[in-house]
Amino acid sequence: METIIQQIIFGITVGATYSLVALGFSMQFRAMNLLNFAHGESFMMGAFIGLLSHVSLKLPLLLSWR
């Protein structure tokens, strides 16, 4: 039962992440009529900064996530 709950939470988290990236692409395309793939680079930079602050600065996960 614990594994099922973990998989559901993981699926919701990954789905929310994908939807945020897709929303950023669609908003940018609607505004400029040009698809800019640098949006993914800034998303990954934010993820690595969050990981770095959690691992090396020993910040709590919720604090480094935001």
Kindly report, residue by residue over 17-44, the tens digit of the pLDDT.
889 888 988 888 888 888 877 777 877 8
Spatial separation of the C-alpha atoms in residues 47 and 21, rounded to whole Å: 12
The strand ranges marked E within the chain are none
Contact 64, 57 (CB under 8 A): yes
Give pTM, 2 decimals. Answer: 0.56
DSSP state of 66: -
Mean pLDDT, all residues of the chain: 85
